[in-house]
Amino acid sequence: MPQSLSKLYVHLAFSTKHREPLLLAPLRAEMHAYLATVLKNQDSPAVEVGGTSDHVHALFRLSKNSSLAGIVEGVKTSSSKWAKTQGRAFVNFYWQSGYGGFSVGPGDVEKVAEYIAHQETHHRAVTFQEEYRRLLQSYGIEFDERYVWD
Protein backbone atom coordinates (compact mmCIF):
# COMPACT_ATOMS: atom_id res chain seq x y z
CA MET A 1 0.00 0.00 0.00
CA PRO A 2 1.72 3.23 -1.10
CA GLN A 3 -0.31 5.53 1.12
CA SER A 4 -0.39 5.77 4.91
CA LEU A 5 -3.83 6.70 6.15
CA SER A 6 -5.21 7.03 9.65
CA LYS A 7 -7.88 8.78 11.65
CA LEU A 8 -7.16 8.33 15.35
CA TYR A 9 -8.90 10.48 17.94
CA VAL A 10 -7.34 11.05 21.35
CA HIS A 11 -8.85 12.46 24.53
CA LEU A 12 -5.94 14.02 26.41
CA ALA A 13 -6.14 15.16 30.03
CA PHE A 14 -3.53 16.71 32.31
CA SER A 15 -3.41 19.19 35.15
CA THR A 16 -1.37 22.09 36.39
CA LYS A 17 1.46 21.17 38.72
CA HIS A 18 -0.06 20.20 42.10
CA ARG A 19 -3.44 21.07 40.57
CA GLU A 20 -2.86 24.75 41.29
CA PRO A 21 -5.95 26.72 40.19
CA LEU A 22 -4.01 29.05 37.88
CA LEU A 23 -6.18 28.89 34.77
CA LEU A 24 -8.67 31.57 35.71
CA ALA A 25 -10.63 33.72 33.25
CA PRO A 26 -9.59 35.22 30.88
CA LEU A 27 -6.35 33.21 30.78
CA ARG A 28 -8.27 29.92 30.62
CA ALA A 29 -9.98 30.71 27.31
CA GLU A 30 -6.72 32.03 25.92
CA MET A 31 -4.90 28.87 27.04
CA HIS A 32 -7.50 26.65 25.39
CA ALA A 33 -7.15 28.60 22.14
CA TYR A 34 -3.37 28.42 22.41
CA LEU A 35 -3.47 24.65 22.96
CA ALA A 36 -5.71 24.24 19.90
CA THR A 37 -3.21 26.24 17.84
CA VAL A 38 -0.27 24.15 19.03
CA LEU A 39 -2.16 20.97 18.16
CA LYS A 40 -3.02 22.32 14.71
CA ASN A 41 0.63 23.27 14.14
CA GLN A 42 1.58 19.67 14.96
CA ASP A 43 -0.84 18.40 12.31
CA SER A 44 -3.14 17.10 15.07
CA PRO A 45 -6.18 19.37 14.83
CA ALA A 46 -8.29 19.88 17.94
CA VAL A 47 -11.95 18.98 17.95
CA GLU A 48 -12.49 20.51 21.40
CA VAL A 49 -10.31 21.96 24.16
CA GLY A 50 -11.68 22.75 27.60
CA GLY A 51 -11.12 22.41 31.30
CA THR A 52 -11.22 24.27 34.56
CA SER A 53 -8.80 26.30 36.65
CA ASP A 54 -6.56 23.30 37.41
CA HIS A 55 -6.63 21.05 34.33
CA VAL A 56 -7.30 20.75 30.64
CA HIS A 57 -8.85 18.25 28.27
CA ALA A 58 -8.25 18.16 24.56
CA LEU A 59 -9.92 15.98 21.96
CA PHE A 60 -7.87 15.92 18.79
CA ARG A 61 -7.05 13.87 15.72
CA LEU A 62 -3.56 12.43 16.11
CA SER A 63 -1.21 13.07 13.20
CA LYS A 64 -0.24 9.92 11.34
CA ASN A 65 3.38 11.11 11.57
CA SER A 66 3.56 11.73 15.32
CA SER A 67 3.52 9.81 18.56
CA LEU A 68 1.17 10.77 21.35
CA ALA A 69 4.15 11.37 23.66
CA GLY A 70 5.69 13.75 21.11
CA ILE A 71 2.45 15.69 20.69
CA VAL A 72 2.00 16.00 24.45
CA GLU A 73 5.57 17.15 24.95
CA GLY A 74 5.11 19.83 22.29
CA VAL A 75 1.78 20.98 23.69
CA LYS A 76 2.97 21.17 27.30
CA THR A 77 6.34 22.76 26.57
CA SER A 78 4.98 25.43 24.26
CA SER A 79 1.96 26.31 26.40
CA SER A 80 4.01 26.43 29.61
CA LYS A 81 6.43 28.87 28.01
CA TRP A 82 3.50 30.93 26.72
CA ALA A 83 1.82 31.00 30.15
CA LYS A 84 5.00 32.36 31.73
CA THR A 85 4.73 35.41 29.43
CA GLN A 86 1.23 36.23 30.66
CA GLY A 87 2.21 38.12 33.79
CA ARG A 88 4.06 37.85 37.06
CA ALA A 89 1.51 35.45 38.54
CA PHE A 90 2.51 32.84 35.94
CA VAL A 91 6.30 33.01 36.16
CA ASN A 92 6.32 29.65 37.96
CA PHE A 93 3.62 28.01 35.80
CA TYR A 94 4.12 24.30 35.20
CA TRP A 95 2.04 21.37 34.05
CA GLN A 96 2.09 18.07 35.93
CA SER A 97 4.66 15.70 34.46
CA GLY A 98 2.18 13.00 33.45
CA TYR A 99 -0.93 12.86 31.31
CA GLY A 100 -3.76 10.57 30.33
CA GLY A 101 -4.35 9.73 26.69
CA PHE A 102 -7.51 7.83 25.81
CA SER A 103 -8.65 6.51 22.46
CA VAL A 104 -11.99 7.74 21.13
CA GLY A 105 -13.91 5.95 18.41
CA PRO A 106 -15.44 8.01 15.59
CA GLY A 107 -18.94 7.33 16.94
CA ASP A 108 -18.03 8.87 20.31
CA VAL A 109 -16.26 12.04 19.11
CA GLU A 110 -19.35 14.23 19.49
CA LYS A 111 -20.12 12.86 22.98
CA VAL A 112 -16.55 13.41 24.21
CA ALA A 113 -16.44 16.90 22.68
CA GLU A 114 -19.65 17.77 24.52
CA TYR A 115 -18.21 16.39 27.76
CA ILE A 116 -15.10 18.55 27.37
CA ALA A 117 -17.15 21.64 26.50
CA HIS A 118 -19.06 21.34 29.79
CA GLN A 119 -16.16 20.81 32.19
CA GLU A 120 -17.09 23.68 34.51
CA THR A 121 -20.55 22.25 35.10
CA HIS A 122 -19.18 18.73 35.52
CA HIS A 123 -16.61 19.83 38.09
CA ARG A 124 -19.11 21.42 40.41
CA ALA A 125 -19.67 17.89 41.73
CA VAL A 126 -16.51 15.96 40.77
CA THR A 127 -12.85 16.82 41.39
CA PHE A 128 -10.19 16.35 38.73
CA GLN A 129 -8.70 13.49 40.74
CA GLU A 130 -12.05 11.68 40.85
CA GLU A 131 -12.61 12.30 37.16
CA TYR A 132 -9.13 11.11 36.21
CA ARG A 133 -9.42 7.94 38.31
CA ARG A 134 -12.75 7.17 36.59
CA LEU A 135 -11.21 7.64 33.15
CA LEU A 136 -8.31 5.34 34.03
CA GLN A 137 -10.67 2.72 35.43
CA SER A 138 -13.09 2.91 32.50
CA TYR A 139 -10.20 2.23 30.10
CA GLY A 140 -8.87 -0.58 32.28
CA ILE A 141 -5.60 1.23 32.95
CA GLU A 142 -3.81 0.00 36.04
CA PHE A 143 -2.17 2.75 38.07
CA ASP A 144 -0.41 3.29 41.36
CA GLU A 145 -1.96 6.18 43.27
CA ARG A 146 1.46 7.11 44.67
CA TYR A 147 2.73 8.04 41.20
CA VAL A 148 -0.32 9.54 39.52
CA TRP A 149 -0.19 12.96 41.15
CA ASP A 150 2.55 15.58 41.33
CATH of segment(s) 8-148: 3.30.70.1290
Please give the backbone phi and psi of residue 99, each rounded to the nearest 5 degrees, phi first. Answer: -160, 165
The pLDDT, as a whole number, for residue 136 is 96
The pLDDT, as a whole number, for residue 2 is 80
The pLDDT, as a whole number, for residue 69 is 98
> pTM of the predicted model, to two decimals?
0.95
Would you tell me the crossing angle of helices 27-41 and 68-84 to the nearest 10 degrees? 140
The pLDDT, as a whole number, for residue 149 is 85
What's the rounded Cα separation, in Å, for the pair 18 and 122?
20
- Give me the residues of the chain with pLDDT under 70, please: 1
The pLDDT, as a whole number, for residue 144 is 92
Residue 76, CB-side half-sphere exposure with 13 Å CA sphere? 22
The pLDDT, as a whole number, for residue 85 is 96
What's the rounded Cα separation, in Å, for the pair 16 and 94?
6
The pLDDT, as a whole number, for residue 1 is 59
Percentages helix, strand, coil for the chain (3-state, rounded to 5) are: 45, 20, 35
Which residues lie across from 51 on neighbouring strands?
Answer: 56
